[in-house]
Amino acid sequence: MILNVQKQYGEENHGLREECGVFGIYDFDGGDVAPTVYYGLLALQHRGQESCGIAVGDTDGPRRVVNHKDMGLVNEVFTPKILESMHGDIGIGHTRYSTAGSSTRENAQPLVLNYVKGTLAVAHNGNLINAPKLRHELEYSGAIFQTTIDSEVIAYYIARERLKTGTVEEAVSRAMDKIQGAYSLVVMSPRKLIGARDPYGFRPLCIGKRDNTYILASETCALQTIGAEFIRDVEPGEIVSISPKYGIVSDRSHCLPREKEARCIFEYIYFSRADSYMDGISVYNSRIQAGKYLAMDSPVDADLVVGVPESGNAAALGYSLQSGIPYGTGFVKNSYIGRTFIKPKQSSRESSVSVKLSPLKEAVAGKRVIMIDDSIVRGTTSDRIVKMLREAGAAEVHMRVSSPPFLYPCYFGTDIPAREQLIAYNRSVEDIRKIIGADTLAYLRLERLNDIVGGLPHCQGCFTGEYPLEPPTEDIRGSYEP
């Protein structure tokens, strides 16, 4: 039985995005887990601000799954009254940006399926490159889809394979034989919590423990928030099954040789929270190191180094530490505006950038400013921020970017658009500098990426066009509408 309570409202989204944040929990002592899932999702809010959801089940009760999801932020979708009504000792949660599939209530996760073996709930972070093909196969065998997201393809295959196998983890393993691309999965069955990570390790997933409760989460920052101890990362290609009877059981049959792994480099540059650790690497230290390399490779005389909040701040500090130029606060960020909000209309005088950021005139007026940002995608945001600093009185604005230029799209869960929409496509650095209006411009050198993640194998496809697996021939990043 599935209980659903939902509402709907519209929103717009923009900019560089990533799909999504996942969280799973199993309290072996039988306590209600919904409040803890809520706080875990709050910690992962930066990974997805379009929609969110929680599904909980009672492993010792009537096998009822309570599911609530909607458009909006975690603290908007979940009230104390809703959380108090969600009883169960096992649960999963999700925060979402849309990459494949439109931003609608129907596409919110977790996805909950009622089938012969009971109820299955799935939360997915990533993007499948063969989802359209698999979707068509399922449709021609009688499947009726309720969403336009590739996560539903995964859920269907797990449910179908579960009818032929003895355990849910075997079903997940067989589904992994079919799906290709980026995925970190959290799956809730009536008596088990399952975590799975794609063989390349594009997206992160870790395991934590608090008393007699086990947790799966996209990032370690979620474990810190709920007072849980970090146990370890789920390895690329690994399936973990968590239950009171067996504890944590691991299946590494899908793991690849280490040199073939391909973590998304942007987890370290931009997506993840600075206080997270991923596969043993500190996100904060990666960004500090990127800033230091920028100072070493692209120095310039200046009076002040500032970061574009939030992900540019640590890189700016690294630049300052290496160069000796003072680090300061150049912008005030509106903390009550997320990455998703109602964008001003074209006819309006308000800018979506100025709604979120304001330059600190007292800090930058009359100064030669080095401004550090994590990336330049289309260039429209960068040119507005440079202009804001000049209008605040900055004598010079030197832009440094803590990633190489985007030259190719991403098919693995990052919303990097087609090449023609990328400002770096068919343009030199000097061309880009003129467009955004900076006095100088420099990017992180490609060869520095390996150093900022301590030699961990990673994907550089968006910078080089060389992907760890063959990209699709059709555009998979939109919805699957016929």
User: At what angle are helices 168-178 and 150-162 packed, to 10 degrees?
Assistant: 130
| Nearest-angstrom CA–CA distance, 70 and 52 | 6
Active site residue 20: yes
The length of the chain is 482
Dihedral of CA 27/28/30/31: which sign? negative
Given a contact cutoff of 8 angstroms between Cβ atoms, the answer to whether 409 and 418 are in contact is: yes
- Residue 28 — φ and ψ, nearest 5°? -65, -15
Q: Which residue has the tokens 């799966």?
A: 216
The C-alpha angle with vertex 369 and arms to 368 and 374, in degrees rounded to 5, equals 160
Q: Cα Rg for the chain, rounded, in angstroms?
A: 22
Closest by alpha carbon to 47, among 171, 203, 161, 249?
203
The neighbouring-strand residues paired with 23 are 93, 217
Q: Which residue has the tokens 């997270």?
A: 276
Amino acid code (one letter) for 235: E
| Nearest-angstrom CA–CA distance, 268 and 427 | 26
Q: Which residue has the tokens 């400013």?
A: 369
| Nearest-angstrom CA–CA distance, 437 and 242 | 54
How would you classify the pairing of strands 396-401 and 368-373?
Answer: parallel
Select which of 20, 221, 255, 410 is catalytic: 20
The neighbouring-strand residues paired with 27 are 213
User: At what angle are helices 283-297 and 311-323 packed, to 10 degrees?
Assistant: 50
- 42, two tokens: 């709050």
| Nearest-angstrom CA–CA distance, 86 and 88 | 7
Given a contact cutoff of 8 angstroms between Cβ atoms, the answer to whether 207 and 248 are in contact is: yes
Given a contact cutoff of 8 angstroms between Cβ atoms, the answer to whether 242 and 248 are in contact is: yes
Residue 473 DSSP SS3: coil
252: how many CB neighbours lie within 10 A of its CB?
A: 11
- Residue 94 — φ and ψ, nearest 5°? -155, 140
| Nearest-angstrom CA–CA distance, 390 and 396 | 7
Q: Which residues are catalytic?
A: 20
